[in-house]
Amino acid sequence: MQIKETIEFLSRYLDSEHYTNKCNKVHRIAISALEKQIPFKPKEYEDKYYSCKCGNVLMMKWAKYPTQLIPKSEGLPYCLNCGQALDWSDT
pTM to 2 decimals?
A: 0.76
Output the pLDDT for position 18. 63
Count CB-CB contacts under 10 A for residue 30: 13
Distance CA 64, CA 10 (A): 47
Over range 21-28, report the average pLDDT. Answer: 75
The length of the chain in residues reads 91
Give the DSSP letter of residue 38: S
Residues 36-89 have pLDDT tens digits of: 999 999 999 888 899 999 999 999 988 877 778 888 888 999 999 999 999 999
Distance CA 83, CA 14 (A): 24
